[in-house]
Structure 1
Amino acid sequence: MEIAGYPHYENVCSNILQFYLQPDNEHGFGSLLLDSLFTLINEEVVINGQNIDVRREESTDIGNRIDLVIKSDDFVLGIENKLFADLYNDLGDYTNHLENKYLREDRPVYKIILLLDLIQITPSKDIHGFKPITYALFFEKVIENIGSYFLTAREPHVAFLRDFIQTIQNLQRKTSMDQQRLTFFHDNQHDLAKLPTEVDALRKDMREKVNQLRVIIADEAALLPFDIESGVWRFSDLRDFLWCTVKTSNSFWLQVDFELTPVGWRSRFFYKKNGGINDVKQWVNAREIQYEILPDERRLIYRDKLPYDSSIQEVGTWGLEVLKKLTTAPVV
């Protein structure tokens, strides 16, 4: 979509929000999304769409960036948009910037964190007056209020908004299976090959998890020092993979697989282009990464593994840790 602007997933979401939060944009939904946000934080705000400016990545004095700042003559709203990552942002700096730059007696400043799950906020973290809202509640309120806007809303922006909501809802959907069924899969992997219905259910769940991990890693991989390509694939047995090719040089490419089985997650390293297993060992040893060696001695296995029912946030943090370790400079 043209309104998306960038390939990184969180940036795409923020750009789409920018488009639909601007009341006088061509979508025809007016202030639907803004009204829904203010309702959720129990604020009665009169919105005049003619004097609203929705800004992306507004910089603070110390170089931090606020995802969305909505400025009008009557109010200012700052939004921090979080999809998968934990809330590590300097909200105190955001608050100082918004209040020092915009706050006045006749123009209040509001602050919102828009996120997939409240568990992304560490309980002990000071959020400096930001009000957390989940995407689930936000879209529930948007859908509740959307009826009166259909006469003014314009295609294809109605379809784009529907697709955006569906995409985020798909990310929110929990894919972990219940523990009883997971234990059954774990204890009876070979017998389950004869049970197509149950096996198909497991494979679908595994592919959803692998695709969600790919979304998380794609948003951060572009910031790493090497070009990284990725994709998904599976064996005929119960193994699903997210593969990442790290192009370390013209002569040597490092392959990193994130493998999911009913037992859980593990990561393995080997060579993709030129070189050999000794080159992989030398690369990994130079970065002091702990690993095991498979019996065939052609794969290195990252020491830390995760159980199948780990949350997608845990898996994403683990996967990014692997890539960051592999792409840092050697330890001197």
Structure 2
Amino acid sequence: MSYLTLLLTYAALPRTQADTTIFDVSGYPHYENVCSNVLAFYFDPQREHGLGSLLLDGLLNALDYPQTEPVQLQNIWREYSTLRGGRLDLLIKTDRYLIAIENKIFHGLNNDLNDYRETVQHLADPDVQPIYLVLSPRPLTLPPDSGFKNLTYGQLWQEVKRLLGFYASATTQKWLSYLYDLMTVTTATGNEAMEFTEREQFFIEHHPMLVQLQQEYTAFQRKLASQLTQLQQQMDDGIKHLTQLDKRWIYASNCLVHDFVLTGHKIAFDLYIKPDGWTLQLFGRNQTSQQFLGNRIAQRLQTPIVDNNRFVIGTWPLQTPLDPIRDTLSEWMNWLDAQ
């Protein structure tokens, strides 16, 4: 298969994009503490989510504790200190139950469940029933003498979704969306067998050729970068007289940067070389500098081209010799230095 055929085959694949959750955006998609914090928020009927006792009722139903009347939450603790100095992820006190929840997203279960159980027994009033629970994405085998029951997130969410219609009208789309995000990240933790999209199957099937293509493209990028370095070296002597040139460097291997400071205004030249050609841009590094630059350029160009708040001074095809690019860059830097 040729590279062209490979690319055409790839282009013909259907586009797929996984939904991004608020946890992905925050950078903490599967952290146990983050999930426990969000659970504590939704377990509290008085919080701003407006879903009342939805999660608490769903949890009790999933544990085979159906309620003839709503339970009354009295308190909820995060990282509760146990008798032996441990930390229990969630402790929920209601008028009828004292619920200990150990939340396990990724890590193996190596907690002292006996310590947790003894702590709850020590706290529980005679008329309150203790409940010991390990909440996890996948089923776990627990020590038979621990007193703890394992509940998967899938089992919890099944009950929550079944009850959701009774509570959803009192909340807003924002809190529903966040709850659905929590459901997503706690049931897709990477512990399951990997499944691949058609596009990912393409990567697997054509991996050797893709690696070769990537290597050759990297070599091509190095070739472009060498052109930028060569142009920089050609300009070494020609910039010594520029009194307001502050510094210059090559950024990300494909952009030659010249920074000027004129009466406190910071002006930059960015000369890019990319597979689609050369581009020379001029811009101010802050609002006042950009305004200063705009006033100066208006004296020279009647209708300047502006792209993403940058003035486009020139573009050239990739095959262009260095001389005209260097001359344009030098001419504009000399003009700016004289301002």
Q: Report the TM-score when normalising by structure 2.
A: 0.48
Larger Rg belongs to:
2
TM-score, L = length of structure 1: 0.49
